[in-house]
Amino acid sequence: DAKTTQPPSMDCAEGRAANLPCNHSTISGNEYVYWYRQIHSQGPQYIIHGLKNNETNEMASLIITEDRKSSTLILPHATLRDTAVYYCIVRGLNTGNQFYFGTGTSLTVIP
Amino acid sequence: DTGVSQDPRHKITKRGQNVTFRCDPISEHNRLYWYRQTLGQGPEFLTYFQNEAQLEKSRLLSDRFSAERPKGSFSTLEIQRTEQGDSAMYLCASSFGGGNEKLFFGSGTQLSVL
């Protein structure tokens, strides 16, 4: 079962940074935080994941708080193609190493 | 294209009929997953394979559902005696497994049961 809480929807102006929050207050020490996104009519797409440290790749940055109870996905310069549902997932031994998706955050990038 | 492919993309069937979906994973991936997604919900885990072995099945997977991965490559998901509640997007994903596992998803098969 999903162990994360995300706002159901957010808007972001094109060209601005999109900051998507996720609460995972019951996360265990061996559990990773993953982010996926799903554009309409497509399968989910991997974005980034991390354990303790902040992570950055060509798509986004992941900021994990020191207590690991929450994280933020940052899309530095949102484009219209970033409009999608974003899922924050906690995965580890306590989840049977399975990926359990919640209902995510529907991000709309506004021109 | 070396991504995960699923066939068909859309399937319309009448209640009570059997349907079968196929998934071709990324060739070097040893894990293969099936998920189901209904409108407005995130994907729900159904089952997964490590090579040809089916290692876990969700309690969501009723007896009418069966999945196979006979040679550890492609997989099929069959639904017998379909019901209207089976209408959903069926997603397949594959991965290398491991602690830093990343799932790569196909575009799914949209099933409509009339």
Percent of chain B scoring above 70 in pLDDT: 99
Chain B interface residues facing chain A, Cβ-Cβ under 8 Å?
4, 33, 35, 40-45, 48, 56, 91, 93, 99-108
pLDDT for the residue B1: 53
Contact B93, B4 (CB under 8 A): yes
> What is the H or E stretch that residue A13 is in?
strand A9-13
Considering only CB atoms, A98 lies closest to which of B45, B91, B105, namely B45
Task: Give the gap in angstroms from C-alpha A90 to the nearest C-alpha of chain B.
Answer: 12
The pLDDT score that the predictor gives to residue B9 is 96
State how far the alpha carbon of B14 is from the alpha carbons of A1, A76, B79, B80, B113, in Å.
Answer: 32, 47, 12, 11, 5
Partners of residue B93 in chain A, C-beta under 8 Å:
43-44
> What span, in angstroms and rounded, lies between the C-alpha atoms of A46 and A34?
8
**Residue B112 clears pLDDT 90, i.e. is over it:** yes
Across the interface, whether the CB atoms of B45 and A99 are under 8 A apart is answered yes
Q: How much is the pLDDT for B94? A: 95
Q: If you ran DSSP here, which 8-state letter would residue B84 be given?
A: G
Higher-confidence position of B60 and A45: A45
Pairing of strands A61-64, A105-110: unpaired
pLDDT recorded at residue A63: 97
Model confidence at A96: pLDDT above 90: no
Contact B45 A46 (CB under 8 A): no
Residues of chain A neighbouring B59 (CB-CB closer than 8 A)? none
Given a cut of 90, whether residue B59 has pLDDT beyond it is no
The mean of the pLDDT values for chain B is 93
Asked whether the beta carbons of residue A44 and residue B43 sit closer than 8 angstroms, the reply is yes
Residue A87 confidence (pLDDT) above 70: yes
Task: Write down the pLDDT at residue B107.
Answer: 96
Give the tens place of pLDDT for each residue, B66-81. Answer: 999 998 899 999 999 9
Averaged pLDDT, B89-112? 92
**For residue A6, which residues of chain B lie inside 8 Å, CB to CB?**
none
CA distance B35 to B50: 15
